Amino acid sequence: MEFQEKLDGIWKRISDPVFLANKGTANEVRYYVFDYEPCDELIVRQKIIDLKKKNNPVNDGFTIYEYDIYDLVMQMLEEKGYIEKCIKFEELKGKEYLYNAITKMLRLTNDNNLIVNYISDNTPENSVVFLTGVGKIYPYVRAHNILNNLHQVFDRVPVVMFYPGRWNGQSLSLYGTINDGNYYRAFPLIQ
């Protein structure tokens, strides 16, 4: 399927009552990935803006909630006064140390994951969640970690991750070149 056809199919898909019911044939919770070539990032961002403008919650029966993971992490770091510390960590101790510090601060590896909690706490019923910004926040937050952690606690509305790379139904490849980890529970948003 051509890229423009995929883009044009998003609204029809997310407004479908079967999609909004958020249960598959085996009653599994539905998470979706919309993968695209990284060079199309700005086109996808504009499409998301257009979809949010088109969304009329009263008539459509749902509201689109977009969570840009990069913006969310920056907001959390700022609220905790960690921006300057992160800059110093990277300068003095390197990216690996910074990665570990951010992982610990955001609690990415435990049940009290701050990103997951934020999304869960701020998303009402009758919503469709769009996750964006995963390319911007890499390698500090990985797409498969977000999906795996969110999937364990958040099942009341459909979740769509917009992914600049490839998803083959088994694993994610950021920018089509970086192995971003395995994730088996998602479905393609557009076939």
For the chain, the domains span: 3-171
The whole-number average pLDDT for the span 164-175 is: 78
Is residue 165 over pLDDT 60?
Answer: yes
Can you spell out the DSSP letters for 79-127? HTT-HHHHHHHHHHH-HHHHHHHHHHHHTTTSTT-HHHHHHHHH--SSE
Q: What is the pLDDT of residue 39?
A: 94
**pLDDT confidence of residue 29:** 65
Which residues are registered as beta bridge partners of 161?
33, 131
On whether the CB atoms of residues 147 and 171 are closer than 8 A, the answer is no
Q: How confident is the model at residue 170 (pLDDT cuts 50, 70, 90)?
A: confident
pLDDT tens-digit series, residues 146-156: 888 888 778 88
Task: State the Cα–Cα distance between residues 61 and 137, nearest whole angstrom.
Answer: 32
